[in-house]
Structure 1
Amino acid sequence: MKIQKAQKEQVKLRVGISGASGFGKTYSALLLAYGITNDWSKIAVIDTENGSANLYSELGNYNTVNLQPPYSPERYIEAIELCEKSGIEVIIIDSITHEWSGKGGCLQIHEQLGGKFQDWAKITPRHQAFIDKILQSNCHVITTVRKKIDYSMDRDSNGKTRVVKHGLKDITREGFSYELTIDFEIINDNHLVVASKDRTGLFMNKPEFVISSGTGKKLLDWCNNGRTLEDIKVEIKSCTTLEGLRHIYSKYPNLQSNIKEIILSRKREIENVVVPNKEIIETIKPSKNGVRINADTKSE
């Protein structure tokens, strides 16, 4: 246990994208992921939507994990761990709805146990382990979730019962959105989104827009305290010590894949300056009378 300064650079994004079927959740998630990592090969989609992630393969060489039933919390955790071990930087879980209401998901597990209220004591820890895995992952995580129309049965002033429509509701356990860095809601089939929850302050109470790779880049810049990749490149180029390069590399874990080659190139430049000087010093030896001469010189 120790006290240390808070560093936003250490933040891994937890982004939610919700919307009705056909509104473009998967496509939007892919563009967002590319904006974050700028490398399709570092993106993986955990696909529970019957291979829908493969529909956009022309975008780039991203990876997929085809997750089949049962959609238990443990199966999702296994898929996330597979992505982490494979060096993935952005994991898209498309979608988390199946973990809750799909075949073998939490609601079906509850039903199979008998459907009693006390049976949730066995299921809730399993569901929470899945949520914790998302929150504790060393990758950026984007989750998609389906929506459904929420109804209730209310009585009017005459005592008659009527169906009241309350809008769309996420098909997952209530409260998940509170865990997210930002929660985007796709509001129509034109792919327009609004931020229903936003810890970054970048999109809250702003006009509707369409998610692009630029949206992901904007979020990554926020993670790096507003410093863009170009700013960091300048910082690297101006660094004159190897220790300084190590500090810069560790300071921006969200961008390490982007700056690794630049760091190595600058490292070689610094070493090419330092090493020759060191070799010159090593060729200078003291003579018997105390005069420093070049070791290769045969006479004083």
Structure 2
Amino acid sequence: MQLRQSERRKAKIKMALQGPSGGGKSYSALLLGKGLANGDLSKVAVIDTENGSADLYAHLGNYNVITLKPPFTPENYIKAIEVCENAGMEVIVIDSISHEWDELLDFHSKLAGNSFTNWAKVTPRQKAFIDKILQAKAHVIATMRTKQDYVLNQKDGKFVPEKVGLKSVQRDGVDYEFTLVFDIDIKHFAVSSKDRTGLFAGKPDFIIKESTGTEILDWCNSSEKPTKDKDFLSASRLTRDEIGLRDVMTRMQESNSIAELLTLFKMYPSLQQDLKPHYEARKAFLQKMSNPQNYSNNGKL
């Protein structure tokens, strides 16, 4: 037993994607996996319980697949994870873990005797499965389908039904076990519902790309705490496609000086027409909060 300083560079991300059928969880998980593996899909393994859906994206590259067939017991999932670990996989995508919970619910329903006390025969198996995910030697991306419903949204003056995801199909509270959880909607936009990395918390929804996985990998490998200045400079290297207008506007609202605000504004000349009203409003606010005489010439366009 040895005491050591915490080192985030030793971390392996354990994350989950949850959303309705058709939301793009499998595809998004593969893109994340590619980024986490530094672009080398041969180091990515998919544990596929979705009837061969993992092979639909073979055009992305030569990733590995384990096809898991019924019964979807926790023990079979654990064996599949161990196969991936022994093969030296750097990223394990489990698509999906909802089948495991369905299997345990079915097992519980068939037990004789008291329903409440019978959970004692289920919980240890569930715990062993979750512990295996958390203790895996690789990055793990688990997908969970959500129960679906339809809501009426107004579009072009008409109400049209739209599929939405509700509660994920897994044991209550399982999302608390993961470092990062993305909720993906039917239009493939993702937003973080839990984020211990601090990379995505409070950010607008976005489309998951390979660069998202690379960003998470950088966080895992970083041995120093990011500062606000470093975060700002890092953001300055992102392209318009990676940030998007909404994200730039959010960063402008977070600017604490007119110099920082002006630097951000000039960074995106193609967006300046849309950004100018927000620039002027934030500039006026910063001037009001400070001594106007000190900033009368700063940020002049």
- Relative to 1, partners in 2 of residues 1:167 and 1:211: Cα closer, same or farther, differing over 3 Å? closer
Alpha-carbon deviations, 1:27-86, whole Å to 9, x = none? 000000000102110001000000000000010000000000001100100100011111
Alpha-carbon deviations, 1:188-241, whole Å to 9, x = none? 32x1000000001110110110000000000011112278xxxxxxxxxxxxxx
> CA separation in 1, counterparts of 2:45 and 2:31?
12
Deviation at 1:2, TM superposition (A): 2.1
Larger Rg: 1
Q: Which residue of 1 aligns with 2:73?
A: 72
User: Which residue among 109, 112, 118 is the counterpart of 1:111?
Assistant: 109
Alpha-carbon deviations, 1:97-147, whole Å to 9, x = none? 00001xxx1101101213711111011001100000000000000000000
Q: Which residue of 2 aligns with 1:142?
A: 141
- Relative to 1, partners in 2 of residues 1:13 and 1:207: Cα closer, same or farther, differing over 3 Å? same
Q: Which residue of 2 aligns with 1:61?
A: 62
User: Which residue among 166, 172, 175 is the counterpart of 2:173?
Assistant: 175
> CA separation in 2, counterparts of 1:135 and 1:200?
16
Match of 2:171, SS state, is: coil
> CA separation in 2, counterparts of 1:146 and 1:167?
8
- Relative to 1, partners in 2 of residues 1:22 and 1:226: Cα closer, same or farther, differing over 3 Å? farther
Asked if the contact 2:95–2:143 (Cα under 8 Å) also holds between the matched residues in 1, the reply is yes
Q: Which residue of 2 aligns with 1:45?
A: 46
> CA separation in 2, counterparts of 1:89 and 1:149?
32
User: Which residue among 174, 198, 203 is the counterpart of 1:201?
Assistant: 198
Q: Which residue of 2 aligns with 1:225?
A: 222
Q: Which residue of 1 aligns with 2:281?
A: none
Q: Does 1:212 align with 2:213?
A: no
Amino acid in the other structure paired with 1:51: G
> CA separation in 2, counterparts of 1:172 and 1:93?
13
Deviation at 1:149, TM superposition (A): 4.2
User: 4+ residue runs of structure 1 moved beyond 2 angstroms?
Assistant: none
> CA separation in 1, counterparts of 2:165 and 2:47?
28
Q: Which residue of 2 aligns with 1:89?
A: 90
Alpha-carbon deviations, 1:160-190, whole Å to 9, x = none? xxxxxx971000001111111110000232x
TM-score, L = length of structure 2: 0.67
> CA separation in 2, counterparts of 1:111 and 1:6?
44
Asked if the contact 2:44–2:89 (Cα under 8 Å) also holds between the matched residues in 1, the reply is yes
Amino acid in the other structure paired with 2:125: R
> CA separation in 2, counterparts of 1:149 and 1:56?
24
Q: Which residue of 2 aligns with 1:13?
A: 13
Asked if the contact 2:48–2:65 (Cα under 8 Å) also holds between the matched residues in 1, the reply is yes
Asked if the contact 2:12–2:138 (Cα under 8 Å) also holds between the matched residues in 1, the reply is yes
C-alpha RMSD of matched pairs (Å): 1.7
Match of 2:80, SS state, is: helix
> CA separation in 2, counterparts of 1:48 and 1:76?
10
Structure 2 unaligned blocks of 5 or more: 150-163, 225-301
Q: Which residue of 1 aligns with 2:22?
A: 22
Q: Which residue of 1 aligns with 2:189?
A: 192
> CA separation in 1, counterparts of 2:70 and 2:51?
11
> CA separation in 2, counterparts of 1:32 and 1:167?
21
Asked if the contact 2:20–2:165 (Cα under 8 Å) also holds between the matched residues in 1, the reply is no
1:275-290 matched pairs, under 5 angstroms: none
Q: Which residue of 2 aligns with 1:124?
A: 123
> CA separation in 2, counterparts of 1:60 and 1:130?
29
TM-score, L = length of structure 1: 0.67
> CA separation in 2, counterparts of 1:86 and 1:173?
29
Aligned length: 209
Question: What is the percent sequence identity of the aligned residues?
Answer: 54
